[in-house]
Amino acid sequence: MPEGIEYNKNNTTFLLGSLTMGDVLEVDFEGNHTNFTNDDDLQASAGVHIDYDGDRLLVTNLDPGAFMGSKNVAGLNAYKLSTGEKINEVSFLELVPDAGFVTPNDIAVDATGNVYVTDFLGNVIYKVDQNYEASIFADTSMMLVGPNGIDFHPDGYLLVSNLLGNQLLKMPVDNPNDVSVVGITDDRFSGMDGVVYRADGKLVGITSFETLVELSSTDNWATAMVDNSKALSDKGTTVAVTPEGNHYALLTDVVNPQVSTFTEWVIELVEF
C-alpha cells in the first residue's frame, strides 16, 4: 500500500514508499518493480523525496500501526540515490515524548540541505539539519492542523498543505512564526495530500484524495488561484512530476479503514 511517490529523472523510474511494509519500491514504465532499499530498520513509510543536490533519497520511517497510535519507530531515513546505500537514520520520538500519535508524512529540502518533515496527526513539522540533528521546527502554535504535503519555494519559504484545515500555509524557513494562510477562494480547492512545487512556479496537489489541482500565484503566494483541476479515476494521495511536466498520480485509497489489506495500486498519467 504505497502512499508516497517520486519520479527519479536519473533513470526514469518511480520510487514508492509503503504504509504496510518497509522497503521502497522502484517501478519502471512497464510496471516492473523491485526493491530500491533493503533495510530491516525501515518498517513503513509515507513520504519519499529526492534531493538531487545531495544524491539522497529521503524516506519517512514510521510504525505500520502509527495511525492507530503505535510508535515503535518514527523518523527519517536517508539513502544514496545513486546506489541505495543507507546514509543515516534519525528518530523524532525523543522530540515528542508525550504525543499520542507520531506520523511523519511528507518531506521537503531547502536550498542549504536542511530537511523538513510534516507530522500529520502530531501537528508538528520537524527539521533535520545537514548534520542529521533533528528539532521541532513548527507546531500547533503556528496554525498546524493536519500538516501533510510540503515543498520548498526558492524564495526561502515552505508551502505546507494544512490538510485538516483545508488551507495552504506559507512558512518562512528563517522564521516559522511568520506563517500565513495563502488566500484561495476557488471552490475547487480543499485540503491537499501531497504537493509538488514545479519548476515553472506552479504548485500541484491532490485535494480530497480525488482531484488533481494546479495553483499559481502573482503575489509571492500571499494568495493563489486554481488554474486547472482534473478528477482522478480513483482515490489518490499524491503526484510525481517529470521534467517534461507530466503528472503521475498515485492511486491508493488510504482513507479506507481496510487499507492495511490492500495490495493493488495504480500510477496514472493525469492531463489537464
Nearest CA among 108, 109, 104, 140 for reference residue 120: 104
- Name, in order, each residue with C-beta under 8 angstroms of 252's C-beta and a sequence gap of 6 or more: 1, 2, 3, 235, 236, 237, 259, 262, 265
Question: Is residue 112 within 8 Å of residue 90, measured between CB atoms?
Answer: no
Locus of grid cell 511568520:
178
- Residue 259 confidence (pLDDT): 61
pTM score: 0.96
Nearest CA among 139, 51, 128, 41 for reference residue 90: 128
Output the nine-digit C-alpha cell for 32: 516492473
- Residue 21 confidence (pLDDT): 84
Question: Tens place of pLDDT for every residue, the chain, 272 residues?
Answer: 899 999 999 999 999 999 888 899 999 999 999 999 999 999 999 999 999 999 999 999 999 999 889 999 999 999 999 999 999 999 999 999 999 999 999 999 999 999 999 999 999 999 999 999 999 999 999 999 999 999 999 999 999 999 999 999 999 999 999 999 999 999 999 999 999 999 999 999 999 999 999 999 999 999 999 999 999 999 999 999 999 999 999 998 877 766 666 678 899 999 99
- Residue 42 confidence (pLDDT): 96
**What does the domain layout of the chain look like in residue ranges?**
5-270
5-270 to CATH, choices 3.40.720.10, 1.10.3210.10, 2.120.10.30, 2.40.50.140: 2.120.10.30
